[in-house]
Amino acid sequence: MAVKPSSYREIYAVVARIPRGRVATYGQIARLAGLPRSARFVGYALSALTDKAVPWHRVVNARGEVSRRSDGDEGAEMQRLRLEGEGVTFDVHGRIDLRRYLWDSASPDEVKG
């Protein structure tokens, strides 16, 4: 797949729509940004993010887990703390219940927070 120069902006625009207290998966963001089967690319885009207003912490892997990072455990712990601060809970295995917290991008009740 050829990646357009505007792909990062498209990803960031989708991530900016995730409401407070909700999460989305890397694959979900890729699909919504018009980049199907590009979940890993979403991870690259988020790791390059400089705009602190984009809620990167609301993106998790398909198992509902905070993904490993190149910056070590500190970034993962910060992500977890931010999510918990928004009311998102983790089970004893460090997973989020996606049936409860997954963002429904098609729902008009889901507003940016």
| Count of residues in the chain | 113
At 52, the pLDDT band (50, 70, 90 cuts) reads confident
- Does residue 109 fall inside a structural domain? no
| Residue 53 forms part of a structural domain | yes
On whether residue 65 sits in a domain, the answer given is yes
Give the span between the Cα atoms of 111 and 109, in whole angstroms: 6
Residue 23 counted as domain residue = yes
Q: Is residue 111 in a domain?
A: no
CATH number of the domain at 34, please.
1.10.10.10
**Number of separate domains in the chain:** 1
Q: Between 106 and 27, whose confidence is greater? A: 27
The domain containing residue 89 runs over which residues? 7-101
Mean pLDDT score, 92-109: 91
Q: What single DSSP character describes residue 29?
A: H
